[in-house]
Amino acid sequence: MPADSRNPEISVSDLLLYINCPRRVYFVSRGFELLPEINASRLERMLLKELSLNYPEIVKKCSLNADTLCKELESALNQACEDLPLMFPREFARIEEGILEEANARARAKIPEIAANLLRGLEEYGKDPMLAALTPVKTEPFLLSEKLNLKGVPSKLVCFEGMNVPSIIKPGNCPVQGVWASDRMHVTSLALLLEAEFGGEVPFAFVEYVSFGLLRKVVIRSSDRREVLKICRRVEKIKAGFMPEKTEEKFCTECTFSENCVSNPSLMSKFF
Ligand code: SF4
């Protein structure tokens, strides 16, 4: 089917929303705003993401010493704290006083663990491979596939073992081993986009769990590709107007759409 006769173009963020809850895709595609609360925990994640962008520089110039690594990370965090309000003025216009300080303190408390894990990674994988996996060759490139009817932006592309592969920055929790299923779907969708854009197979990708200083390599399997393609088709249907069944999701109590999200789809006509 030609791309222009298909459903509305979908983005990787739609796929992530679908994995969260299919109905959220429906609400967002109909103009409802997903407004996550700007609290200390969200600001902490934003700070840690900014901090992680400095990991390659820090790792490059630091001797393998926990103290110097911690000092460099602290100074980069201070800088991130100064820069963040300038980078996100709209978000900062609606935060309460003291929240940034609280977020800064929470992020600072993570530095010893980040430093210890970065050092462990350096010892285990070696400085050059670690730097290759951390250092962007492109930051937030826009990727588009007309064939997949999909667009997306990886946090960065890194050149590892002679190949450009996607890497995503995740400031949330980290599983004991491997990556979360949703992160696997996230990097797989970006690998498919990268293949569509530049050709050749993208056999792996990286997930950076930046709150812990951990870097995980993900081998992209055929079953991951199949799952992403399946989700793409479901998201297309939802964006074209199909309302998925409401399931009792663990996110419902904190969901922005809970007031409008009713079990009986016929009642939805009240809102649309
Ligand atoms: S209220 Fe629950 S089912 Fe409805 S959109 Fe939100 S998370 Fe999904």
Minimum mean pLDDT range among 10-19, 88-97, 147-156: 88-97
For residue range 221-247, list pLDDT tens digits in order.
999 999 999 999 999 999 998 989 887
Mean pLDDT of 135-142: 96
Q: How many residues does the chain have?
A: 272
| Residue of minimum CA distance from atom 7 in ligand 1 | 252
Domain segments of the chain: what residues? Answer: 9-16+137-243, 40-131
Neighbours of 66 (CB within 10 A): 13
Q: Which two tokens stand for residue 103?
A: 């977020």
- Asked if residue 18 has its Cβ within 6 Å of ligand 1, the reply is no
If DSSP states are collapsed to H, E and C, what string results for the chain? Answer: CCHHHCCCCEEHHHHHHHHHCHHHHHHHHCCCCCCCCCCHHHHHHHHHHHHHCCHHHHHHHCCCCHHHHHHHHHHHHHHHHHHHHHHCHHHHCCCCCCHHHHHHHHHHHCHHHHHHHHHHHHHHHCHHHHHHHHCEEEECCCEEECCCCEEECCCEEEEECCEEEEEEEECCCCCCCCCCHHHHHHHHHHHHHHHHHHCCCCCEEEEEECCCCEEEEEECCHHHHHHHHHHHHHHHHHHCCCCCCCCCCCCHHHCCCCCCCCCCHHHHHHCC
177 CA distance to ligand 1 middle (Å) = 29
Whether residue 135 is predicted with pLDDT greater than 90 in this model: the reply is: yes
pLDDT at 63: 72
Mean pLDDT of 160-179: 96
Minimum mean pLDDT range among 55-64, 130-139, 148-157: 55-64
256 CA distance to ligand 1 middle (Å) = 8
End-to-end CA gap in the chain: 29
Our mutation pick for probing the ligand 1 site, out of 16, 17, 18, 23, counting the most ligand atoms within 8 A of Cβ, is 23
For residue 91, what pLDDT band results from cuts at 50, 70 and 90? confident
Mean pLDDT of 157-164: 96
Judge whether 78 and 70 are in contact, CB under 8 Å: no
pLDDT at 7: 65
261 CA distance to ligand 1 middle (Å) = 6
Mean pLDDT of 26-45: 86
- Sort strands 156-160 and 163-170 into parallel, antiparallel or unpaired: antiparallel
Angle at 243 between CA 239 and CA 248, to 5 degrees: 120
